[in-house]
Amino acid sequence: MPKGINKLNQYCLKAFQEYGLPYNPDYNGESQIGVSPVQSTVGNQRRCSAADAYLRPHLASGRVTLLTDKTVTRILIENKRAVGVELHGTTPELILAGEVILSAGAIQSPKILMHSGVGPAEQLLQHGLPVIVDSPEVGENLQDHPIVPVRAYVKGDLGYQMAAQGLGSMKAGLRYLVTKDGPASGNGIETVSYWNPSDFTADPTIQCYHVPIISADGLSPTGDRSGITFELVVLQPKSRGWIRLADGDPTSMPLINPNFIGEEEDLKAAVASVRAIREVMRQESLAPVIEDEIEPGPQAQTDAEIGEWVKRVATTMWHPVGTCRMGADERAVVDARLRVRGVEGLRVIDASIMPNITSGNTNAPTQALARHASAMLVDDVLHRSTGRAPGSPQPAIVPPAQTLPA
């Protein structure tokens, strides 16, 4: 949690409760419903990434080799078995392996599979690529959390508009170095809420970040006038997009169609959330400091007007999943043990295997997925060395992640 909460976010905590949403001290607990201080992966008042927790502690062991500034162009497949990978370069470099694990994420994993000959046959042939396995759902089922920003100016110097740029940024940095608190001690988002616009007792359909700045891109402060941005996130989108190859060049970026707000249900959820946030801004604790609504602005009043604005501004929450779907059916890209159908010795272990997106941030679920997959890998090694059937009751022992002191 952030070390101290700025006044503007304190007003948000109170305003949501005045509107009827309960205070929730732990949205990663039994219930998500409520308004809460933000939780982050932090240790010693520094960001703790998956690399900090799982990778770096093991690099010194000599059992892990980390190659940086390398780009995998394709997986080497011989007789429908993965035998290594090819790295991009003037002279392609080959790395041979007994088993290949693809963890390039929901955008790059399907792209690499397709350039390796695993994907929709029609698409591969169109770009002059060999068809090793016709897997029509590679690149399909793309899901993300669309995000819609409601912005308003606030009175005075509330929030972090000044602290996040120029001299204010320098002061915040020095304060952090000395006291490990203040604006630079967190990610700038100190409170969050989860709710259903039509029923505060029902499972949340909206996540809302209360960002104490005005920003054109949702990240960097814009201008010198203080403000707040309510980042509204549709948690259970029905819309589905896709990843396709642009051409046969493995260094080209893929074509991405996120299809945000492509379904009417997603549009209705977003419009309802905008109306709810306007009510929150009218509550006793927040109304005195709100000046002008910037977006969607006073010109958007009807559902149709708000809806047109939503469709125009909806963008990514950086939570893409689903493009190498796991499933028991034959069309699924990977099976329940994350093995690519049709290719021996090849697994996909990343957010692309999720059949459906989670109702919240995808960072922790992806790490949990990888942790479970590591147990599967150990289980398979034990099977090969002892003859024990994979998945039998004997548990596989997985070394714990490094635990950083609070």
CB-CB contact of 212 with 9 (8 Å): yes
pLDDT in tens, 177-212: 677 776 656 667 889 999 999 999 999 999 999 988
Strands (E) across 236-307 are located at 242-244, 255-257, 290-295
CB-CB contact of 48 with 401 (8 Å): no
213 pLDDT more than 60: yes
- Residue 62's pLDDT is 84
pLDDT in tens, 284-301: 999 999 999 999 999 999
- Residue 145's pLDDT is 98
- Residue 243's pLDDT is 98
158 pLDDT more than 90: no
- The vertex-171 CA angle with 169 and 172, nearest 5°, equals 65
Catalytic residue list contains 319: yes
Single out the catalytic residue among 127, 319, 372, 383. 319
Higher pLDDT, 176 or 39: 39
Mean pLDDT calculated for residue range 211-221: 72
Ranges 31-40, 215-224, 263-272, 364-373: which has the least confidence: 215-224
CA-CA distance, 322 to 310, in Å (whole number)? 24
- Residue 405's pLDDT is 40
7-49+145-234+260-316 and 71-142+322-386 share one fold: no
pLDDT in tens, 105-129: 999 999 999 999 999 999 999 999 9
**DSSP SS3 for 344:** strand
Q: Measuring CA to CA, how many Å separate 331 from each of 47, 73, 325?
A: 39, 25, 9
Nearest to 215 by CA among 238, 234, 188, 195: 188
Higher pLDDT, 158 or 174: 158
What CATH superfamily classification does 7-49+145-234+260-316 receive? Answer: Glucose Oxidase, domain 3 (3.30.560.10)
Query: What is the chain's mean pLDDT, rounded?
Result: 89
DSSP 90-150: SS-EEEE-SSEEE-SHHHHHHHHHHHTTEE-HHHHHHTT---SEE-TTTT-SBB--EEEEE
Please give the CATH topology (third level) of the domain spanning 71-142+322-386. FAD/NAD(P)-binding domain (3.50.50)
DSSP 211-249: ESS-BSSSSSB-SSS-EEEEEEEESS----BEEE-SSS-
List the structure tokens of 102.
């693809």
Domain ranges of the chain: 7-49+145-234+260-316, 71-142+322-386
Ranges 140-154, 163-177, 343-357: which has the least confidence: 163-177
**DSSP SS3 for 306:** helix
CB-CB contact of 183 with 192 (8 Å): no
CA-CA distance, 89 to 121, in Å (whole number)? 27
pLDDT in tens, 363-377: 999 999 999 999 999
Q: Measuring CA to CA, how many Å separate 204 from each of 232, 234, 301?
A: 12, 9, 24
pLDDT in tens, 35-79: 999 998 887 777 888 998 889 888 988 888 999 999 999 999 999
Instruction: Report the range out of 146-155, 187-196, 221-230, 386-395 with the highest average pLDDT.
Output: 146-155
Neighbours of 305 (CB within 10 A): 14
